[in-house]
Amino acid sequence: MVNYNLTNRLNILLGISVILFLILWLRLFQLQILESSVYQEKSEANSIRVVEEIPGRGLICDRHGRVIVENRPSYSLSVIPLEASRNPNTFIELARIVNRPVSEIEEQVFQHGRQSYQPVKLARDIDFELLAAGKARALDLAGVSYRFEPKRFYAYSVAPHTLGYIAEISESEKKRFPHKKAGDIVGKSGVEKKYEDMLSGQKGYRYMIVNALGQITGELTDKCIPAQNSGKMYLTIDLDLQLLAEELLEEKRGAIVALDPHNGEILAIASSPKYDPEIFAGVLRSDDWKMLQDDPEVPLLHRATQSGYPAASTFKMVTMTAAIEEGLVDENYVENCQGSYYFGRTYHCFKRDGHGRINPVDAIEQSCDVFFYRLGHMLGVKKLAKYMRIYGFGSKTGIDIQNEVKGNLPDEAYLDKRYGEGQWSKGLAINFAIGQGELLVTPLQLARYCGILATKGKSCTPHVFKEMRHPDGTKINYTSKVTSVDIQLSTFDILREGMLKVIEGENGTAWWLKDERWHIAGKTGTAQNPHGEDHALFIGFAPFDDPVIAVAVVVENAGFGSTHAAPIAVKLMTRYLEICEIPELTKPEETTLKMDRSGDELQ
């Protein structure tokens, strides 16, 4: 009996032992065979550090391939929270090197927890002395690494508003770029922002072997993925013309836009005052940012696309278009300007003694206000607004840089909202007809409008991107968007002849700017400004018969457009004609319009 009980107990104990060993064996099989890859990855995570390689950001060139924005070497300092937390001295040493309080550094490093292996960028664009000091104390700086990053370098300090700048990604921007993480650099404005995906390139990865102290002891070269640098981006901008435009705006507030009227390519786009793009090349200091924001001259404002101005007399071709297209006047129409026009009150012409009997072409040439007061009275707000829209006013042009404003188009709906339904004066159309009042346009809109006049009806979407050339030889080209406006060619003939006579006519408002080498057409404007001196405006195109450039110039608080804006535009146009080696012309083709310039026999 005793032996039986002992044997039974031994069998039970043996059975339990077998079961325990079986469980242990199965667990070992699971860990070492079935789940080996999982634990291999965890093991490697503790012994292998993934180091990102930042690609070279794409170069930005002008239309001829001259580099405007390139890259220079720079270094950033990063800290791995988990490794740094193992050695409290790391933060003390870091505080000495970067000259920041320990508490501030710890707060930044541990913002996402202490157990993270994700590097936290502590400082960008560090100088050589800081880099050398960090390398010298490497044994005391567990989890600290230094990474090469390309820093933007500006070969020419031009067009900062259009080119834009780069900086670290914000939380809100991570939705747009889900593949990027904290500390990554992205475009913040202008071309840099719009074409971030083209310019940023592809990150690379190196797999470094580290010991328990976080020190690098080797590299897994077979796993490394090289970074793919971006290529060259070609803009539509002509560097020579851009430099001249900015030179002509020095010491002034205003904007210049020059474009190819046939395809919308921006040849030059300048805003003044401007800022130094180098301020944003490295780490933006709070003092510099505050200085830019508090500057009363508002240098951060892109006046070419973000400022609205009264169009003044540059608008008169819109009024003339409306009157001709609506059948109210033709080439034989004559108005007798005696220096003023009365409708509820007296509206004065800028020439107080009057222009006398004047026809449509001469009304544009001499910018007779009374002629256009009369047209505005006949047209009314609704018809004027119709043609404002046809020429693109009141809506964004669609240029490929962000934050463009649409200006203001004072149609009946706008006036009803502002003054009350039907409570506004019909006389407002008289003021709108000469480009004054609530109508606000951007210099970019004026340039596009001038392009429509230059080409007799082609409306192009302005753009600064021309082509992207990647290192592998592939290219991305911009496809120009061109439409035609619903205006008769005969109407454009009248408008364009008047614009030609602004410069080449004996009574033109800018007759002294005539250039014997080419025929240049344009229109001056002086916008009333309740806050100070009038704004000077000018739009123009050249050559007359086959235009290659259309220009809009606005100079704030300068006075007359004929004396302050027109000379700038003419210099810019003649320079571009020289660049393009346009043959000098003798005279424009004879117009088919038959007009009696004296007006003696016209009704």
End-to-end CA distance of the chain: 143
**Are 310 and 346 within one domain?**
yes
Question: Model pTM?
Answer: 0.83
The answer to the question of residue 531 being in a domain is yes
**Are 243 and 198 within one domain?**
no
**Are 63 and 186 within one domain?**
yes
* Pairing status of strand 475-477 against strand 465-469: antiparallel
Amino acid at 53: E
Domain count, the chain: 2
Of 186, 212, 235, the domain-final residue = 235
**Are 459 and 393 within one domain?**
yes
**Residues paired with residue 542 on neighbouring β-strands, in sequence order:** 549
Average pLDDT over residues 395-414: 95
Cα separation of 469 and 567, whole Å?
38
Query: What pLDDT shows up at residue 31?
Result: 65
The CATH number linked to 502 is 3.40.710.10
The answer to the question of residue 98 being in a domain is no
| Whether the predicted pLDDT of 330 surpasses 90 | yes
Peptide bond into 273 cis (omega under 30): yes
The CATH number linked to 145 is 3.90.1310.10
List the single range of 53-62, 324-333, 567-576 with lowest mean pLDDT: 53-62
**Are 458 and 521 within one domain?**
yes
Residue that has been written with the tokens 């593949």 in this structure? 179
The answer to the question of residue 548 being in a domain is yes
pLDDT tens digits, residue range 7-42? 777 777 777 877 887 887 777 777 677 666 655 555
Of 188, 208, 235, the domain-final residue = 235
**Are 320 and 422 within one domain?**
yes
**Are 143 and 177 within one domain?**
yes
Percent of all residues in the chain with a pLDDT value above 90, rounded to a whole number: 55
Query: What pLDDT shows up at residue 149?
Result: 75
Query: What pLDDT shows up at residue 335?
Result: 94
Of 235, 262, 285, the domain-final residue = 235
**Are 253 and 170 within one domain?**
no
The answer to the question of residue 591 being in a domain is no
| Whether the predicted pLDDT of 559 surpasses 80 | yes
| Whether the predicted pLDDT of 110 surpasses 90 | no
- DSSP helix/strand/coil, 53: strand
The answer to the question of residue 6 being in a domain is no
The answer to the question of residue 477 being in a domain is no
Q: Residue 523 in contact with residue 540, Cβ under 8 Å?
A: yes
pLDDT tens digits, residue range 236-250? 999 999 999 999 999
**Are 186 and 261 within one domain?**
no
| Whether the predicted pLDDT of 496 surpasses 90 | yes
Domain that holds residue 520: 239-272+303-466+482-579
Note the helical H segments in 159-302: 160-163, 190-194, 196-199, 239-248, 286-294
**Are 362 and 395 within one domain?**
yes
Query: What pLDDT shows up at residue 43?
Result: 52
Work out the mean pLDDT of the chain and round it to a whole number: 86
Cα separation of 305 and 407, whole Å?
9
List the single range of 107-121, 129-143, 345-359 with lowest mean pLDDT: 129-143
The answer to the question of residue 150 being in a domain is yes
| Whether the predicted pLDDT of 324 surpasses 70 | yes
**Are 431 and 569 within one domain?**
yes
pLDDT tens digits, residue range 169-207? 888 888 888 888 777 888 889 999 999 999 998 888 888
| Whether the predicted pLDDT of 592 surpasses 50 | no
Q: What residues contact 287, with CB distance under 8 A and at least 6 apart?
A: none
Q: Between these two residues, 521 and 133, which has the higher pLDDT value?
A: 521
The answer to the question of residue 366 being in a domain is yes
Q: What is the DSSP letter of 154?
A: E
**Are 197 and 259 within one domain?**
no
From the list 441, 454, 363, the residue with the least C-alpha distance to 405 is 441
Residue that has been written with the tokens 């962000």 in this structure? 402
Query: What pLDDT shows up at residue 273?
Result: 95
Q: Between these two residues, 183 and 395, which has the higher pLDDT value?
A: 395
